[in-house]
């Protein structure tokens, strides 16, 4: 049985409407970062689902009500036709390497819905909020990427293409590229050429880190492809009776092209109003947990979501990691409204976790105080990062 540790102490960005202008190479205080556009070939199962069409703000709210209605069919009951999706997709990513000699460990970070990879690297106050900057300072290399349909990655059909199994396969392909060295070779050759990347080689170990929907993907990845990871950090997600009880209507969704400001997206992409951003992503004492500037910034970097992602999410939730021997950490914001119904304390079911990861080296559960769902945009962010780095260090990562 896995060792289960409960830490009792209670001591994630670019212009909203327009596609951001990538800064191709950047020297940071603790490392170097290069923007990449990676062609990823992927094939996965998919389906045509019975979902409402969303082509207006009115239809966006109607979709949310439909999703939240108790009698609406869920999961496979909504399938009209099973299909297969195959293609080569442009995935925008950022590879960062530390200035120090480093640990030769690469972290692959998967963001959640309503944000892109800037969640991990907020520009508002990088030294005190950016998980990427903190990781570089700790000696880790970091790969962040905009998931399919988000940010600077391709934005295909929101109903039948951008679905959970395909996103899981894209994460697998990126991991394989990192493991076989082709990702680092691609980064060396990508313009602009910079000597900082000349001596990089493939990592000896890879840690997968997720947030929210990105944690759905990370959890499914380590369950299905246990041999491709050396450790995992699951943030903003844990299975419990309150998961998702806030409902889709709590997003306060608009249709992306008719939102304020508008986004250039096709049918089926929805985006939170600012009230939805606060409801879902911010929590804790508003006088101490976050600032108005953090909320404004969190709203300014929000991204639309393809609704096929939600219809297909059941594929990747609750998978048992029978063969996973690597360590797993759950990093839970104390006041996560969407995941824990507003209070994550005492919710983890340790029997379930041990059944999910029966041979994992370690299962660590930590509740981070006075933070909400998007804990990178809270005042206490970096203290939580250190807890994660301590977990990784004691497991040789």
Encode pLDDT of 132-144 as tens digits: 999 999 999 999 9
Kindly state the average pLDDT of the residues 201-210: 95
CATH number at residue 386: 3.40.50.1820
Whether 313 shows a pLDDT value over 60: the answer reads: yes
Ramachandran assignment for 150, one of left (phi > 0), alpha (psi -120 to 50 degrees), beta (any other): beta
Q: Which domain holds residue 122?
A: 3-394
The total number of structural domains in the chain stands at 1
Residue whose token pair is 């990861």: 357
Note the pLDDT of residue 191: 86
How much is the pTM?
A: 0.93
Residues 314-353: tens digit of each pLDDT: 999 999 999 999 999 999 999 999 999 999 998 888 899 9
Whether 16 shows a pLDDT value over 60: the answer reads: no
Whether 7 shows a pLDDT value over 60: the answer reads: no
Residues 348-397: tens digit of each pLDDT: 888 999 999 999 999 999 999 999 999 999 999 999 999 999 999 999 99
Lowest-pLDDT range, 65-74, 99-108, 311-320? 99-108
Note the pLDDT of residue 155: 98
Whether 227 shows a pLDDT value over 50: the answer reads: yes
Whether 17 shows a pLDDT value over 70: the answer reads: no
Note the pLDDT of residue 187: 93
Note the pLDDT of residue 326: 98
Note whether 32 and 25 are within 8 A (CB). Answer: yes
Whether 93 shows a pLDDT value over 80: the answer reads: yes
Whether 21 shows a pLDDT value over 50: the answer reads: no
Note the pLDDT of residue 23: 59
Note the pLDDT of residue 19: 42
Q: Which residue has the higher pLDDT, 192 or 113?
A: 113
Q: Closest Cα to residue 233, out of 141, 110, 321, 346? A: 110
Per-residue exposure over 192-201, b if at least 16 CB sit within 10 Å of its own CB, e if not? eebeebeebe
Nearest-angstrom CA–CA distance, 221 and 229: 9
Residues 171-180: tens digit of each pLDDT: 999 999 999 9
Strands of 105-110's sheet, edge to edge?
A: 3-7, 362-368, 328-333, 231-235, 205-211, 105-110, 141-145, 79-98, 31-49, 25-27
Note the pLDDT of residue 210: 98
Note the pLDDT of residue 364: 97
Kindly state the average pLDDT of the residues 118-128: 94
Note the pLDDT of residue 208: 98
Note the pLDDT of residue 192: 86
Per-residue confidence band for 193, with pLDDT thresholds at 50, 70 and 90: confident
Note the pLDDT of residue 196: 86
Whether 237 shows a pLDDT value over 80: the answer reads: yes
Note whether 136 and 30 are within 8 A (CB). Answer: yes
* Greatest CA separation for the chain: 59
Whether 71 shows a pLDDT value over 60: the answer reads: yes
Whether 2 shows a pLDDT value over 50: the answer reads: no
Whether 20 shows a pLDDT value over 80: the answer reads: no
Kindly state the average pLDDT of the residues 234-259: 95
Kindly state the average pLDDT of the residues 252-274: 97
């Amino acid at each position: 049985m896995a060792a289960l540790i409960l830490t009792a102490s209670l001591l994630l960005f670019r212009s909203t409407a327009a596609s951001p202008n990538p800064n191709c190479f950047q020297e940071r205080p603790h490392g170097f970062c290069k923007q990449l556009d990676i062609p990823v070939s992927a094939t996965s199962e998919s389906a045509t689902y019975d979902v409402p069409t969303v082509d207006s703000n009115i239809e966006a709210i109607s979709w949310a009500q439909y999703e939240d209605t108790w009698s609406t069919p869920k999961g496979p009951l909504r399938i009209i036709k099973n299909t297969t999706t195959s293609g080569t997709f442009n995935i925008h990513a950022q590879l960062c390497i530390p200035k120090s000699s480093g640990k030769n460990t690469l972290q692959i970070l998967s963001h959640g819905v309503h944000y892109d990879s800037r969640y991990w690297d907020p520009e508002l106050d990088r030294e005190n909020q950016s998980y990427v900057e903190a990781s570089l300072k700790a000696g880790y290399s970091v790969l962040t990427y905009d998931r399919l349909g988000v940010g600077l990655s391709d934005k295909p059909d929101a109903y039948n293409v951008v679905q959970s199994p395909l996103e899981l396969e894209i994460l697998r392909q990126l991991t394989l590229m990192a493991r076989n060295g082709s990702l680092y070779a691609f980064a060396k050759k990508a313009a602009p050429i910079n000597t900082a990347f000349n001596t990089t080689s493939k990592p000896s170990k890879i840690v997968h880190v997720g947030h929210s929907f990105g944690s759905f993907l990370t959890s499914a990845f380590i369950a299905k492809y246990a041999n491709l990871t050396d450790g995992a950090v699951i943030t903003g997600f844990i299975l419990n009776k309150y998961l998702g009880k806030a409902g889709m209507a709590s997003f306060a969704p608009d249709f992306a092209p008719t939102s304020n400001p508008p986004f250039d997206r096709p049918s089926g992409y929805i985006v939170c109003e600012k009230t939805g951003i606060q409801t879902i992503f911010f929590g804790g004492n508003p006088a101490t947990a976050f600032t108005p500037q953090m909320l404004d910034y969190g709203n300014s970097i929000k991204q639309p979501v393809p609704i096929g992602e939600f219809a297909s999410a059941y594929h990747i939730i609750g998978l048992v990691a029978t063969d996973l021997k690597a360590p797993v950490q759950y990093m839970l914001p104390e006041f996560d409204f969407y995941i824990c119904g507003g209070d994550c304390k005492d919710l983890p079911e340790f029997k379930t976790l041990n059944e999910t990861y029966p041979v994992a080296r370690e299962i660590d559960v930590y509740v981070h105080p006075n933070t909400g769902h998007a804990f990178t945009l809270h005042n206490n962010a970096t203290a939580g990062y250190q807890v994660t780095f301590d977990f990784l260090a004691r497991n040789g990562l």
